[in-house]
Structure 1
Amino acid sequence: MASIPHLIKKKRDGGALSDEEIRTFIHAVSNKSIEESQTGAMLMAIWMKGMDQQEVVTFTREMMSSGEVMSWPAEWAGLIVDKHSTGGVGDKVSLVLAPALAACGCKVPMISGRGLAHTGGTLDKLESIPGFNVHQSSAQILEILRSVGCCIVGQSETLVPADRVLYAQRDTTSTVDSLPLIAGSIISKKGAESLSALVLDVKFGRAALYEDLSAARELAQLLMKVGNALGVHTAALLSRMDAPLGRCVGNSVEVIESLETLKGNGPDDLMELVTTLGGLLLKMTGLVSDLSEGRRQISDAVIGGAALAKFQAMLQAQGVANETARSLCSAHSDYHSVLRKSEHQMQLKAPADGVVLDVAALTLAEVLHKLGAGRSRAGGPVNHSVGAELLVSMGQRVRKGESWLQLHYEAPPPSLDQISRLQSALTLGSHDALRSHDTPTLVEELLLPH
């Protein structure tokens, strides 16, 4: 058996690691028989020299097999689905999509993450709901899927333990943006869910991991190849992340917007992503014959209230008191009787007359992160009440002094520099500028497996 230093040297010098060599490395990571410095050196070697497709597939399979792999009743065959997003601002798709898919007959064991850097985390959003428990055992997940059809949980200690180690090391060794390491991390977790179908929402744009469309497409294609090679029917879409998705950014305010969407009052861009991702999964499972029918069924589940009923049942199954869940999901809910409200609100005013051409999601998210909506390091606390609500939409004419953003914050108040940065996120122009300013499509491209 080759030594760990030999494997590091081989990859450092550009060699392709064999299946057995990759297995040796992942096994050493899992059983902690490798020094931290050696793990970091291998990650940097992979970042510098890359991996060919066979290496990435083997790397991902060994990560997936480093812990528990879920199993499901035979009668659920073909119905176990999930989606993954590469992260965005205001991206609350999972909160609407999971119950909508359950209402359409799917089983959705959605394993989600926490916010990192400027991007929000699904688990942080749900934990703004009192009592919601993201920590569920495999037996509990099975029971929730049996009774409700969907759950949204965190990664357990026993699921892909090798990824837990490598993920933390990637953050400290500046190797987060390595394509092979990204693919291994994402697909190993989804493979351990024993999915029938997976759809990937790969973001591109100014507030995405990759600003360039071609780079995002390269990641999407690699993720699809690895997922399908491991037996998970995998498709992807490329969606734009320049402006926030929907109108709300933050934790509790995004929960409120998700609930309003489940009550039929959702913003068009959020609904477009929910119906497209959900429609693709329904088609991939064979529950519908084409994408348009899948989109219609997902839309009907949301507009008609079936998805809301599933969301309420999921809340109750994951620890939320029945009365609290009913209150949040009622037609005329007083959300702030349940969800923590920030101590202070501030409305920012438009600096001039004009038409809204753009709102920079990255700027908005970075300021909110500093105000407490994000964590300074993985595992740190977040303030669920901090957030912002857009009071304008693209193409809308506003007058000088009219409110365009409502900020929710707690002491200390935002600094003058932070307020200035928020104001800089708004781009106003003339009607002529609007006509010459192309309105970009949200969903740029669908990538379907052969």
Structure 2
Amino acid sequence: MTAAPPHGIAVHTDPPGGRRAVAVWGLGVAVYFVAITYRTSLGVAGLDATERFDINASALSAFSILQLLVYAGMQIPVGLLVDRLGTKKVLTLGVLLFTAGQFGFAFADSYAAALACRGLLGCGDAMTFISVLRLGARWFPAKRGPIVGQVAGLIGVAGNLVTTLVLARLLGSFGWTPTFAGSALGGVLILVLVLLFLKDHPKGYAPASVPHLEGGYVRRQIQRAWREPGTRLGMWVHFTAQFPGMVFLLLWGMPFLVEAQGLSRPAAGELLTLVVLSTMVVGMVYGQVIARHHTARAPLALGTVAATAAVWATVLVWPGQAPMWLLVTLCAVLGACGPASMIGFDFARPANPPERQGTASGIVNMGGFTASMTTLLAVGVLLDLTGGNFRIAFASVFVLEALGVTQILRLRPRAHRRENERVVASRVEAVHVPV
């Protein structure tokens, strides 16, 4: 017989992990990999898109803004759906939507049609990462959480390598429609694999039943997740750390390196690839450090934000075009933005029980993409207003970084106190629960 845990504290048996866990979770990560490839495909096709649809910088940024607006707006609904329906159903719907969006984008011959397809793609993309986090939580022990999360982000972001190394070259060789339509076939393949092999959880480790959506369930889930300081701190960490690298990779990196820094498109592509490679290396390092030293979470996140701001400022104030060594440094530092933003989930995860993980992850994930969307719009508008002055346009990065750091410093003590309370309560429960 087991005594009921105190209010707000739940005792859960960790799943065992193992090879089957790696295989099932790896399939979910493969979905995220494909979604990232589609999400970032416009990053190497921005200049081609301006010619194909005859648009200016603001209109070009609208592609990514709409995509991220849909993505950010879907995070809480997707989190609720994952908690209610499970991973497989949500991932299946996500694959259907982002594959349809990529196919449509391949054949779009008008700006409006292309815009609608990017919105559809963003809707499907929004369903992937939260589902993968939930999948990892259901198949691996909690102590593996930081590493599992970072590795998921690392492998997913490797989709950028497909974009910068493969898609960019295919676009130059075969043109718009064959490149985007051919890439959409990957979505068809992954859909078949998900339908055949993906499982929500190991046998015997089903999560606690979730009540029906009626009766205030949605409101309670959101309110309870939001009340936790760890959830809000996680959201602001994600907000502050992610967007500089995301904006650079998603849209404005290629135009900045080619038009403002005078690099060739192949050279610019190599620097974008460096951002991705840096993300992969830093992600592994951050995951290992946080798994062993939980107190390193905030210093790593704030240190990454400070380094990003310092290098950006150096590039923007450099007279004339920045030297190659400085651009390489910039891209290497921007690669740390994604892993640093993942630390936000490590604040939210211990603050919420398993049946609320999807909702909490949705709130956290909304942060970085809201910041990215805002910055994409700001850069596009400022470029048009200033006649293409990237120095002024990219200065908007510092405004959002300052806002985010202020919120992190405000919430960090509260989240730390609440987390310590939970640890103490869990230890007391472990001692007093009768066998």
TM-score range, shorter chain: under 0.3
TM (norm. structure 1) is 0.25
Query: What's the TM-score, normalizing by structure 2?
Result: 0.26
Q: More helix per residue: 1 or 2?
A: 2
